[in-house]
A = this chain, B = another copy of it.
């Protein structure tokens, strides 16, 4: 690899002059700058970021720590963040945790060793103590999920409200036996969504049954499938289901499709998220739309500003909460009716 020293030798200059010329320092004559730049281009010189970092320059890499890039939410986040970051001169390092705290720790260790400028993280439900410690030394912000040990800076959804609306939509249609399939309550998002569901039922004075609540691993399509199968086999089967996770929705909806269950005649369904094809599915899936793109973009913009500002300047508590909204399609109708009510 070509170094400043090589350039200096070639041009019979000192390394510092070359360095200054490349940095467009005002003290260097225009003529010298041109010579240096030409030689650099010709010899294929590329600055060494590692060396620059050792001189105290901060890295231009931001780590993105997410459970699994295959989840559509996280794809959107990765893309949006990447766009914002690149525009501001940052690069994005991808780190998948697979929702496992040990993997999460390992990934954070790697990012710390690379001295990344900052970390955007969708944390696992109970991050490892060492992860917490590591993150204390690195600017970071939590996204979607939130764990108190990781600080107070967070961008996310109003999960409780989203599920409350979704459930409320079914209550309005006249359903009294409404089931919920979603992620575990240990996770901040899972707990909030479950609470929204419960609250909506409470508000309407509807019965709540433990066997109408099916919690499972949030990124498991299988759980959606299995949960739905179990719910439909119940002696007191529900007439409607609300979903609380994208992957569960994919599984549930596919199960209904395969099982030939008539939606919304036999069962009303409100999905979670906007996977491609939810609109094609059966009668069209009524679903909770979430402004993931917007959240990711604002998180990215806020974070790069925070990174480039003086430390201690912008590190107060910060939380941004965005609401979701129900998109009405054909998968919800009053119970026992044969036509969807729009």
Contact = CB atoms under 8 A, between A and B. Distances in A.
Interface string A48-72: 1111011000011100100011100
Given A277-B276, A280-B277, A93 B96 contact: no
A79 B83 contact: no
B49 A114 contact: yes
A133 B70 CA distance: 33
A82 B96 contact: yes
Contacts of A79: 68-70, 96
A275 interface: yes
Contacts of A1: 115, 137
A92 interface: yes
A76 to B, nearest CB: 7
A266 interface: no
Interface stretch (A105-113, A151-159, A194-202): A105-113
Contacts of A61: 93, 114
25 contacts: A44-B134, A44-B137, A46-B109, A46-B112, A46-B113, A47-B113, A48-B113, A49-B114, A50-B53, A50-B115, A61-B93, A69-B69, A69-B78, A75-B75, A82-B94, A82-B96, A93-B94, A94-B94, A254-B279, A257-B279, A276-B276, A277-B277, A277-B278, A277-B281, A280-B281
